[in-house]
Each structure stands twice: as structure tokens, then as C-alpha cells.
């Protein structure tokens, strides 16, 4: 498994996207910021997260350019003997990590996806998943995730290729009550705690997500810098993933 993760880390070595593709396609012709950064992936844990200095998402909002800093590094954390957690900024990277976990034998293909998010992320991408499906080489999936997909369209190809099974959408207060499958991949976007979702009590969100974390086979977590302030995302990561004995203040000390 270490060797397989090394392959993934070599793909995610830290690089820029300077063409109007993937997440860099949003308002590309109108923006002054013409490139975005994809951080490297390392082995670590939640305490190793910190905000970087590079722009990872740029968009025009109400005529004003908004440039968002992302993580300095994406993290793969083996949280328990049976569970791994991936932390990312832009959410489309989740498909790469799901695919890797299936190819590496960490989780079976087709596990239900529990998607906790302010958004459903189910827009149709311009191209479907590579025709070879689960037999696709990791480099081809990496290119697809980074240069075709964006933060709002990565779930349909994952389901259609059989990487994950049906998606259970937790995008409302009612959905917090379930029902949830017995085995699942948990996909958490921290913008579920952002201002537009303030109509749902945070303690109710916390209790449900904490239980989902405990039962998940695999977890992907997005800080979503375009939709969520990093300091607030960091506080929720700390609360959701801190266990007894953790040095639970460190992540906040690293917030810039």
C-alpha cells in the first residue's frame, strides 16, 4: 500500500494549471489571475494541515475578482488500521482519491457515497470518465480530475464508472436524519458549516457527521476555499477529528 500511495504522491507533486481547463476555466478570459496551484500530497494527519500562499481557485463574483488561497499540502492520513482520510482544498480531487483507494484494494468498488455538502456537485462534465473505467491507469484519471473536472461535477462520473455506488445527498437538515448505508465512503465538504447553511443547528450537523466519520471505510474532506473561510474550516476539522490525547490546538496555530 505504501508503494501505491507513493505513485499518487508522485502525481500530486505540486504544479500550476495555466490553461482554461478544470477549475481554472471559471471566468478565465475575464480574470487577471491566469493560473491556479494544485498542492502536493503527503502522508500526514489533520494536525499537519495549514493554509498556503498560492491561489488555488479564482472566479469573478459580482464583477470583482476573487482569488482564494488553498492548502499548502494535501494530506493522506491513515487514521486507523481500517480507515484513511484525505484532506484537500478543491473538491474534485476526491474522485482521484476514491479511485486510488479502490485500485489499491483499500475499499471495494461501488460502496455507497455519503456526500455532506452545501452543494450536490452533480453537474455533468464535458467528458465522461475514461472508457477503460476501473482499469484506467492512474495517470489518466489524474489528468481527467485536474484538467476536465471541476468542483461541481465530479460525482456523476464517479458513480457511472462504478468507483462509488449511489450517492446519499446530505445537503439539507432533513437529510441529516438518514437513513445511511451500513458501509460507505464519506465525502465531507466543510462548507456545510458556512453561512448559507446557518439555518441548520451546528450541533445537529456535528453529531451526525461525527457518527458518520466513525463508521466510514474511507473519508474525503474538502476545505473549499471559494465557499468557506479557512480559519472556520480548520476549527471544524479540529473538532471533528480530535481524539483523546491529540494536541488539538496545533492546527489553529498554523492558520495564517
83 vs 106: CA distance, rounded Å? 9
- The CA-CA-CA angle for residues 28, 26, 139, to 5°, reads 100
Q: pTM for this structure?
A: 0.93
Please state at what angle helix 2-11 crosses helix 93-103, rounded to 10 degrees. 150
Question: In angstroms, what is the C-alpha Rg of the chain?
Answer: 17
Average pLDDT over all residues of the chain? 94
Mean pLDDT, to the nearest integer, of 89-116? Answer: 97
152 vs 51: CA distance, rounded Å? 22
pLDDT at 3: 57
Residue 27's contacts (CB-CB under 8 Å, 6 or more residues apart) are: 58, 59, 60, 65
The runs of H, that is alpha helices, within 12-163 are 93-103, 138-147, 155-160
pLDDT value at 246 more than 70: no
What are 171-186's pLDDT values in tens digits?
999 999 999 999 999 9
What are 207-217's pLDDT values in tens digits?
999 999 999 99
pLDDT value at 1 more than 60: no
% of the chain surpassing 70 pLDDT: 94
pLDDT value at 255 more than 50: no
Mean pLDDT, to the nearest integer, of 34-53? Answer: 97
Q: Identify whether the C-beta of residue 84 lies closer than 8 Å to the C-beta of residue 101.
A: yes
Amino acid at each position: 500500500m505504501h508503494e501505491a500511495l507513493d505513485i499518487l504522491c508522485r502525481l500530486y507533486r505540486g504544479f500550476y494549471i495555466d490553461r482554461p481547463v478544470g477549475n481554472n476555466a471559471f471566468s478565465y478570459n475575464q480574470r487577471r489571475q491566469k493560473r491556479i496551484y494544485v498542492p502536493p500530497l503527503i502522508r500526514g494527519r489533520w494536525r499537519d494541515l495549514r493554509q498556503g500562499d498560492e491561489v488555488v481557485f479564482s472566479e469573478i463574483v459580482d464583477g470583482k475578482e476573487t482569488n482564494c488561497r488553498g492548502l499548502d499540502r494535501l494530506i493522506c492520513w491513515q487514521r486507523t488500521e481500517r480507515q484513511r482520510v484525505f484532506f484537500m482544498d478543491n473538491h474534485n480531487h476526491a474522485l482521484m482519491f476514491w479511485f486510488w483507494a479502490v485500485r489499491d484494494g483499500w475499499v471495494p468498488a461501488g460502496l455507497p457515497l455519503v456526500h455532506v455538502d452545501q452543494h450536490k456537485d452533480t453537474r455533468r462534465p464535458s467528458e465522461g470518465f475514461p472508457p477503460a473505467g476501473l482499469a484506467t491507469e492512474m495517470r489518466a484519471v489524474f489528468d481527467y480530475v485536474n484538467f476536465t473536472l471541476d468542483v461541481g461535477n465530479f460525482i456523476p462520473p464517479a458513480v457511472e464508472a462504478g468507483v462509488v455506488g449511489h450517492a446519499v445527498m446530505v445537503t439539507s437538515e432533513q437529510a441529516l436524519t438518514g437513513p445511511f448505508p451500513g458501509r460507505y465512503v464519506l465525502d465531507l465538504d466543510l462548507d456545510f458549516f458556512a453561512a448559507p447553511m446557518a439555518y441548520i443547528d451546528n450541533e445537529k450537523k456535528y453529531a451526525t457527521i461525527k457518527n458518520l466519520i466513525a463508521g466510514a471505510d474511507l473519508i474525503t474532506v474538502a476545505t473549499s476555499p471559494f465557499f468557506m473561510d479557512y480559519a472556520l474550516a480548520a476549527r471544524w476539522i479540529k473538532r471533528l477529528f480530535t481524539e483523546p490525547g491529540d494536541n488539538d490546538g496545533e492546527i489553529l496555530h498554523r492558520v495564517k
